[in-house]
A and B are shown apart, each in its own frame.
Chain A
Amino acid sequence: AQSVTQPDIHITVSEGASLELRCNYSYGATPYLFWYVQSPGQGLQLLLKYFSGDTLVQGIKGFEAEFKRSQSSFNLRKPSVHWSDAAEYFCAVATSASKIIFGSGTRLSIRP
């Protein structure tokens, strides 16, 4: 069955430090992969997506993610985090043209 695993429930990093959020997926075919961010009291906003092509994708707000087929991973990275990056981050995989399965989310806290 298709699934998305985000092994880290909560991560705290210092402002200005680098960030990597982990995501592993299980899907038989070539996946469509996404990262969404949810700020408190808000809906989800798309950060970036991978459909095909270059395995390193750039997104909004300085985020990037790398698709590694051999590891079934799609980790999110940012070289230097800002206090405004504190939010919940969701990795997701599209299992068909329209249905998306979301991971359980990783809550990011920023240490001043």
Chain B
Amino acid sequence: DAGVIQSPRHEVTEMGQEVTLRCKPISGHDYLFWYRQTMMRGLELLIYFNNNVPIDDSGMPEDRFSAKMPNASFSTLKIQPSEPRDSAVYFCASSLGDRVNIQYFGAGTRLSVL
């Protein structure tokens, strides 16, 4: 398996623009997680899905952030409008239901908002 695939790897945008990050989980995994990593706050869970349904979005910082999972093989994290403080590395991870705690991470998307 190719592992968790995230795109793009790097994104540079200007403040106020919409940003969409993409994730393809490992085939067969039924849990998908979005994390944000910053120097100040470390690795934070933003939201996670089970069988394409959002289960816990309590980590989503504000209404500018939204996440969807239209099918088992694709998820998006959208920021609209983006702000400089959103600059971070965003990771997607997936796991298999019977071992939900073993999460497999993608390589991340480094977002810079100017």
Contacts and interface: CB of A to CB of B under 8 A. Distances in A.
Interface string B18-49: 00000000000001010000000011010010
Interface residues on B, range: 20 to 34
Contact of B101 (A32, A103, A104): A32
Contacts, number: 51
Contacts of B4: 43
A94 B101 contact: yes
Chain B interface mostly helix, strand, loop or mixed? strand
A99 B56 contact: yes
Contact of B42 (A32, A34, A104): A104
Given A98-B101, A105-B43, 17 more contacts: A36-B105, A41-B108, A42-B108, A43-B106, A43-B107, A44-B91, A46-B103, A49-B102, A90-B43, A98-B50, A98-B95, A98-B100, A99-B45, A100-B101, A100-B103, A102-B42, A105-B42
